[in-house]
Structure 1
Amino acid sequence: MTLWLTRIVPDVHSREARRDLQGVNAAMGLHRRLMALYPNNAGPDPRAQFGVLFRVEDTSNGQHVLLQSSHEPDLTRLPNGYGTALTRPLDPLLEALETGLTVRYRCTASPVRKPGATTRARYNLPAAIPLSGEEADEWWTRQADTAGLKPLLSHSQAVEAARAVRTPNGANDKQHIRHNRIRFDGTATITNPDLLRQKITEGIGRGKAYGCGLLSIAPARNAP
């Protein structure tokens, strides 16, 4: 299976692009925009079917969208004037992964703690409690371990939460969605290339439909 990585550079003059990147429902709007690049009628969970993960990157040239998928997107489905986009296969990178290799990584994720049913009932807790600070860093260390990585240097930074409002049963049935997001950057040593390929493909944590979970890596030129 080939993984595809697409970089979209939105045009600041495009109304559609600005709407997808700004506002309370931007995360949901961008999700819908990206899913429109894939075939219709893909079953109950097309995001999982096509392995779609994405992340918005702040760069010196403005915001870029990184889109990863197991199905090549049809970029002609982007609106006219939306911006520029380029897709390339990730196979050469994935095939070069080996134990002991030092890589740079980045992942914007939604770290949470999930209390058991008894604890939730006793203390009236939600099903998922967002983590921050040291607790979030510890969460990332555990996730990295299950992804076949041993972090060497790590930095975390909170970014704007992903918010959305769903109305699955009509306008009177509103579901407010919020995923706190933290960007994890650093270097790590590969301990298990197969686990790493799996996690790159499937993503990490929750909120994958809202810009969370995409794990990006690149060879580190200067190991710490």
Structure 2
Amino acid sequence: MFISRFRVNTARPGARRLLSSPQAMHAAVMSSFPHLLPSDTPQPDAPRVLWRLDQRARAEVLLYIVSPDRPDLTHLVEQAGWPAVAGPENPGWQTRPYAPLLDRLTAGDRWAFRLTANPVHTIRRKEGEPRKLTAHLTPIHQMGWLLDEERQERLGFRVCEKPADRRLLPEGTTHHKRPHPGDRYELAIRDTRSLSFDKSRGSGGRRDKPVTVVTVTFEGRLEVTDPDALRRALTQGIGRARAYGCGLLTLSPLTQPAQKIP
């Protein structure tokens, strides 16, 4: 497994086209692997290509890729990077083996994490109608999706709780008479976006209905409960819409002061 980072040159027209369409970005990412064909479907339990865009400032957008094989991002450098300054020593992106991090995961260890996900649930508007998949739209429900005990157990971690003396109220804040998870847990929502884009179908120019994906970027701290399950989450992704930049969980050492979420 490998993890790669590519800084997007937001001034280039090619970059703006990729950033405006998760479908186009997915195609560009998958083109980084010569042996993969567009028709290839990953096996359910196999490591897969995952990607995520992190926007730290208006002109600082980073593309992260986790993949079973080392990628060649030359085409991305040409379309959306700085090709004039790329060279053998600095091709325009960084790739490192992922195994050292995966191998050091141990139950009880704590890490800072970042995850962009597509929190969804099923609803039935009328009796007798089939259940419909829909996105969580409020922060309390989006956090609740990640904090679900069964989901965390399946993913091999639990989100850390804040010490009692750092909570606004002993039982946490309230929201419509319900506990608000944002004051109890080391968890924050950094970004929420609703992406709508066309998905081409076939070569005749026909198009499906526009695809809409609600993405939420979480940051916080977690404790490892099942290292093998967490390794699967890190290499297979979390939740839906993984082809559209969701599902990639990344970890970093806890180097920040205890009172801050990284």
TM-score range, shorter chain: 0.7 to 0.9
Larger radius of gyration: 2
Greater CA drift, 210-219 or 120-129: 120-129
The aligned counterpart of 2:100 is: 92
Amino acid at match of 2:122: K
The aligned counterpart of 1:133 is: 139
The one of 191, 201, 210 equivalent to 1:176 is 210
The aligned counterpart of 1:218 is: 252
Residue 165 of structure 1 contacts residue 174 of structure 1 at CA under 8 Å; is this kept in 2? yes
Residue 198 of structure 2 contacts residue 207 of structure 2 at CA under 8 Å; is this kept in 1? no
Distance 1:109 1:139, change over 3 A: same
Q: CA deviation at 1:32?
A: 1.0
The one of 226, 239, 248 equivalent to 1:192 is 226
Q: How does 1:100-119 map to 2 (within 5 A)?
A: 100-115=108-123, 119=124
- What is the aligned-residue identity percentage? 26
Distance 1:98 1:140, change over 3 A: same
Distance 1:126 1:17, change over 3 A: farther
CA distance in 2, matches of 1:171, 1:29: 16
The aligned counterpart of 1:20 is: 18
Q: Deviations over 1:41-86 (max 9, x none)?
A: 5373356677111111112451111111112111233352632211
CA distance in 2, matches of 1:15, 1:50: 32
Question: Does 1:164 find its partner at 2:197?
Answer: yes
CA distance in 1, matches of 2:207, 2:70: 35
- Count of matched residue positions in the alignment of Structure 1 and Structure 2: 216
Question: Does 1:206 find its partner at 2:206?
Answer: no
CA distance in 1, matches of 2:106, 2:25: 34
Q: CA deviation at 1:211?
A: 0.8
Which consecutive unaligned segments of at least 5 residues does structure 2 have? Answer: 82-91, 161-185
Per the normalisation by structure 1, the TM-score is: 0.85
Q: CA deviation at 1:190?
A: 0.6
Residue 27 of structure 1 contacts residue 163 of structure 1 at CA under 8 Å; is this kept in 2? no
The one of 68, 71, 92 equivalent to 1:70 is 68
Which consecutive unaligned segments of at least 5 residues does structure 1 have? Answer: none
CA distance in 2, matches of 1:125, 1:163: 24
- SS at structure 2 position matched to 1:39: coil
Per the normalisation by structure 2, the TM-score is: 0.74
Question: Does 1:151 find its partner at 2:159?
Answer: yes
CA distance in 2, matches of 1:47, 1:9: 27
CA distance in 2, matches of 1:34, 1:201: 16
- SS at structure 2 position matched to 1:20: helix
Amino acid at match of 1:56: L
CA distance in 2, matches of 1:126, 1:72: 41
Q: CA deviation at 1:21?
A: 1.2
Q: Deviations over 1:129-180 (max 9, x none)?
A: 1113222211101233321111111112442223221232543442311111
**What RMSD, in angstroms, separates the aligned Cα atoms of the two structures?**
2.4
